A and B are shown apart, each in its own frame.
Chain A
Amino acid sequence: MAIINFKEKIIQIKIVYYGPGRSGKTTNLQYLYNSLKEKFKDDLPSKLITIDTQGDRTLFFDFFPIELGKINGLDLKLQLYTTPGQVMYESTRRLVLKGVDGVVFVADSLASREEANLDSFQNLKDNLQHHKLTLNDIKLVFQWNKRDLEKNGIPLLDSETMDKQLNSELRTKAFPSSATDGTNVFKTLNVAAKMTVESVIEKLLDQKQNLPN
């Protein structure tokens, strides 16, 4: 659920990184955060908030707000969240989806994780349903993560297969990526943000037109 505050001149949009456990959702956010921190030094106004277990698995969510310049005179603020991927954290995963405007689905390219990707995608649909949403109500971009492992000879699913398995219904944008070395991390976010902002503005215009005079 996007928020527009005309007093503060802010438009705020929520994007959630979803996907199976260990697919690299938190790594995506960490890469974004570290790159921006390096670029802006101490001027970066926001911090990466992580609620995780003693290991490095996300327990509740990671959160990182980014300001992305102006749109129609309003400051655009993106709220980036990740969900816990492990199957047992079902209820927290559902909670993080509340008010979502856009999703980056981070799929694991490892051949052994084929089924985990499909399960997680179905789980996303089910959890959206819990908030009375379908995939058509939000914007979604895919990321085929861990492509860097190919050069180490580790068996990966090829992008075409992943596209066929996950993206045949939506036919949306998909990016082969590596969240550890940063390949296509910013690109994925840029495209997801652009698509989401456009759809939020479109919905707001509809909402305005439907208001009684």
Chain B
Amino acid sequence: MSIVLSEEIADKLDDSLHKLIEESGATYAMLTDMGGNLLSKAGDEDFDGAALAVLTAANFAATKEIASLIGEKDFSLLFHRGENENVHFTKITTEIILIVLFKPYLSLGLLRLKVDGIKDELNEILEA
């Protein structure tokens, strides 16, 4: 089954991502599905967004295999620390991933709180 995003739903997703960026101070946020299809994005993008979506899906798929190797069902959260940018990945539904880019001076705890706060909202929009 294909995913069809109406203008209304796409707008709502964009608004939620913008709100997340504003409230958390993150640089960039993106929603992608497990097949690597970009659904929505907000923030400054000076890189190839389509590639980020695809590599994120692949990253999740690979870590899922790691999870099953050590007897876990899944990892619902991934975090990569960089010198100038950090990346935080969270599963919103079984099929959708939220990617947030943020500067190392931002607190990871605060970002997690804000991401948790927006998870239900995104879920509701996606289920509509």
Encode B59-97 as 1/0 by CB contact (under 8 A) with A.
001100100000000000000000000000000000000
A61 touches B33 (CB 8 A): no
Asked whether any CB of chain B lies closer than 8 Å to the CB of A22, the reply is no
B4 touches A204 (CB 8 A): yes
State the interface size on chain A (CB cutoff 8 A).
29
| Chain A stretch 57-100: residues in CB contact (< 8 A) with chain B | 60-61, 63, 65, 77, 79, 91-92, 95, 98-99
Most buried by B among A2, A7, A79: A7
B10 touches A6 (CB 8 A): yes
B54 touches A4 (CB 8 A): no
Most buried by A among B33, B36, B48, B62: B36
Asked whether any CB of chain A lies closer than 8 Å to the CB of B3, the reply is yes
- What is the CB-to-nearest-CB distance from B54 to chain A, in angstroms, rounded to a whole number? 5
Q: How far is the CA of A187 from the CA of B39 in the complex (A)?
A: 30
Asked whether any CB of chain A lies closer than 8 Å to the CB of B106, the reply is no
Q: How far is the CA of A30 from the CA of B112 in the complex (A)?
A: 40
State the interface size on chain B (CB cutoff 8 A).
27
- What is the CB-to-nearest-CB distance from A90 to chain B, in angstroms, rounded to a whole number? 11
A3 touches B37 (CB 8 A): yes
18 more A-B contacts (CB under 8 A) besides A46-B51, A77-B50, A207-B1? A1-B35, A2-B2, A3-B2, A3-B37, A5-B10, A6-B7, A7-B7, A14-B36, A47-B51, A49-B51, A49-B55, A60-B62, A63-B36, A63-B51, A95-B62, A99-B33, A99-B36, A203-B2
